[in-house]
């Protein structure tokens, strides 16, 4: 497994865990209620704070993929993310674009505004593989059962770990066959995307197996998710920071090398203590 994540402008050192800070530009975000949607000034201030708190990567998204979320047209998604991408692409920080649409990916990559494509559909949109083969961006391939609008209706697996591993291994192979270097690929098991609490816990416990079977770096996105609320009894996502940090440490102990989080400072502090006490 490569010790670096190769992206458009950066080779991200994965000899220690990295923190990806989330910048949601959606009016219906589950975590912040659209606080940064429609205001470039607020979005920039939030991005700056994430970096000040210790984020290694900024992840910008213009479509909510929470359970029961309605799809957003590609043009609307682009209008949401483009102003911020244009600004932060000038900063000396890796910029990840969270999108599942080839059209949105193309606009960002052709302008040089994205170093990483973070796709909840693992580049399954028509033309996505071919597009990424033409560019040098890093890619994050995620597993999702169903679509956001129906993924939590009744998710079922015979063996969630085996099925998730097989899917991600297949998508990684498709990337390589399309001409995408393996050093550019990171995998995300998709906690909360078409999975019950029991499925999520099983996946978390089996992260070492997932890493062995794929031989690729793993990203864990557990931040503020419903599973944290179910375990802690915290109904409001903003009250799940401590639980999210605990889950992040559990993921790192089991091999995750990138943590996608809302609460960057809490996560960075938890990692510092964990690393010092090891």
Catalytic sites, residue numbers: 225, 260
Query: What tokens does 6 get?
Result: 């190769």
Q: How far apart are CA 154 and CA 232, in angstroms?
A: 23
Give the sheet arrangement for strand 57-61, strand by strand.
185-188, 138-142, 116-119, 95-98, 57-61, 18-24, 258-261, 219-220
């Amino acid at each position: 497994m490569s010790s670096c994540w190769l992206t458009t402008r950066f080779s991200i050192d994965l000899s220690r865990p990295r923190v990806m800070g989330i910048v949601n530009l959606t009016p219906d975000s589950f975590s912040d209620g659209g606080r940064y949607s429609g205001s470039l000034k607020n979005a920039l201030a939030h991005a700056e704070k994430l970096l000040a708190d210790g984020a290694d990567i900024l992840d910008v998204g213009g479509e909510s993929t929470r359970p029961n979320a309605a799809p957003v047209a590609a043009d609307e998604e682009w209008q949401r993310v483009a102003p911020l991408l244009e600004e932060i692409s000038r900063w000396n920080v890796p910029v990840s674009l969270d999108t599942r649409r080839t059209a949105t990916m193309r606009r960002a990559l052709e302008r040089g505004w994205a170093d990483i494509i973070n796709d909840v559909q693992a580049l399954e949109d028509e033309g996505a593989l071919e597009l990424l083969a033409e560019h040098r961006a890093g890619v994050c391939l995620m597993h999702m059962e169903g679509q956001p609008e129906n993924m939590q209706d009744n998710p079922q697996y015979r063996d969630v770990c085996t099925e998730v591993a097989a899917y991600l291994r297949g998508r990684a192979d498709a990337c390589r066959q399309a001409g995408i270097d393996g050093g550019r690929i990171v995998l995300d098991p998709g906690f909360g995307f078409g999975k019950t609490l029991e499925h999520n816990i099983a996946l978390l416990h089996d992260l070492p197996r997932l890493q062995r079977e794929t031989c690729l770096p793993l990203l864990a996105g557990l931040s503020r998710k419903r599973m944290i609320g179910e375990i802690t009894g915290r109904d409001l996502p903003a009250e799940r920071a401590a639980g999210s940090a605990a889950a992040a440490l559990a993921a790192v102990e089991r091999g995750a090398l990138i943590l996608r989080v809302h609460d960057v400072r809490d996560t960075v502090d938890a990692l510092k203590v964990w690393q010092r006490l090891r």
